[in-house]
A and B are shown apart, each in its own frame.
Chain A
Amino acid sequence: MALHLNLLHEEIAEQRQRQRDPLKIGLMVLFLLGVLMAMFYMWKGYQTLGMKNRLATVQAEWAKVEPTVTAAQTRSKELQSIIGTTRVLSGMVEGRFYWAPFLQKLSRCVAPNAQLTSVDGQVFEKTKTVTVSIEGIAAGREPRSAAEELRQLLTEQLGQSYTNVKVEFKSLEDLDTLVTVAGAPMAMARYLLSVTFDAAGPEAAASPAPTRVPRS
């Protein structure tokens, strides 16, 4: 077996030592990693730049249509408000109680021998109920019957246009004085009628002018 002498042992060891230098290796690894990271960053940056361009295009497009859209939205809100207000106001207008048709019916019910001296009416908005107090004088051989005829006629006539009609005497009293009707002396009675009914009715919406002259 031949004896092999390594005379350059120290130099070789130093060279190996230099090659295995951890700092050098670490720096190389870091550099390599840095290059890779820089490339990845550039790729990402390129993508971001592309997105920025697309965003600028979309924003320019939006800037063009935005005034139209804003105007349309404002107008829509305005129209919605107008529609809502008109609907409520129309409801109020249509839900009103019209006194003229009522007075027309009342005038049709009053016979020549039954005078009215006062009429007081009121509409209760919440319940849509109408109450009317009618005071008058009836004359005839049977003045109470004349007053009763008026009450019945009112019930019948008002029942054609309104619902839940109630016509009741609050008072009915004979008077001592006589009155001449068609040349004949007649007895008189004073009456006070209470009329209540619901304002809502199919014919209540119309408001024609009265056509017949009442006897008051």
Chain B
Amino acid sequence: MSGSKLSKDQMQKLALSGVGFIVLIYVYFSFFLGPLNTSRATMERTMADVQAKLAASETEVQKARSLEKKASTATAEFAALKALSPEGAPIAWFPPRMRLFFADQGIDRVTARLEGNTPLTEPELTEWARYSWILDVPQTDFVTLGKALAQLENAEPLLTISRISIRAMAEDPQFQQISLTANTIVVKQ
């Protein structure tokens, strides 16, 4: 056997050592260091996320407090507007409300008929709907009507009169017959 050349047996042993080395590297990186690094990277990401949330939390709370102060007027206004829509179907409460209102103004026998309802197109008003009503006033005089309308327009901010028809009564011209088309915006039930 020569001193400088490797024998067949030595070559085999050397190859076996090489295979052992490859297996060791593979096992080490696949089953030990790899999972550890993955776990660590996951923890780093989670920590960065949580720390970012923590940093933003104070700002978020401050923002909410500040908004609460700023929105006090809007909140009160919103509550007042919402309170104009009682519980229940509008057909149940709107006609009696109008009858009572006009009776308080000295105009009797007012009837309110539902003409239809349409959803509002504004994205902010998805919880609200527009109802269209025909109000028939069989007999009143112009001044009383004017005062009643002024009161109605001031008392019902979400009511809009889109059409008005005043006809003098043939048998008694000092009185008129009135027909109003009123649109109300109410909270969807």
Chain A residues close to B by CB (< 8 Å): 17, 20-23, 25-27, 29-30, 33-34, 37, 40-41, 44-45, 47-48, 51-52, 54-55, 58-59, 61-62, 65-66, 68-69, 72-73, 75-76, 79-90, 92-93, 96-101, 103-104, 107, 115-123, 125, 207-210, 213-214, 216
Contacts and interface: CB of A to CB of B under 8 A. Distances in A.
Contacts of B24: 30, 33-34, 37
A116 B168 contact: yes
Interface in B1-54: 1, 6, 10-11, 13-14, 16-18, 20-21, 24, 28, 32-33, 36-37, 39-40, 43-44, 46-47, 50-51, 53-54
Give me the 5 closest cross-chain CB pairs, A-B, nearest first: A26-B17, A210-B146, A100-B150, A23-B13, A72-B64
Contacts of A90: 77
B142 interface: yes
Given A76-B63, A216-B176, A125 B50 contact: no
Given A48-B43, A82-B71, 14 more contacts: A41-B28, A48-B39, A66-B57, A72-B61, A76-B60, A76-B64, A79-B67, A86-B81, A88-B122, A99-B149, A100-B149, A115-B173, A122-B162, A122-B163
Contacts of A20: 10
16 contacts: A26-B16, A26-B21, A29-B17, A37-B32, A61-B54, A79-B67, A85-B125, A86-B77, A92-B158, A115-B168, A118-B167, A121-B165, A125-B162, A210-B143, A216-B168, A216-B173
Nearest to B17: A26
Nearest to B56: A69
Contacts of B63: 72, 76
Interface of B: 1, 6, 10-11, 13-14, 16-18, 20-21, 24, 28, 32-33, 36-37, 39-40, 43-44, 46-47, 50-51, 53-54, 57, 60-61, 63-65, 67-68, 71, 74-75, 77-78, 81, 122, 124-125, 127-128, 142-143, 145-147, 149-151, 153-154, 157-158, 160-168, 173-174, 176, 185
Nearest to A80: B67
Contact of B125 (A33, A65, A89): A89
A97 B183 CA distance: 12
A41 B142 contact: no
A22 B14 contact: yes
A68 B33 CA distance: 39
B166 A118 contact: yes
Given A209-B147, A210-B147, A98 B75 contact: no
A65 B28 contact: no
B185 A214 contact: no
B54 A58 contact: yes
A98 B185 CA distance: 16
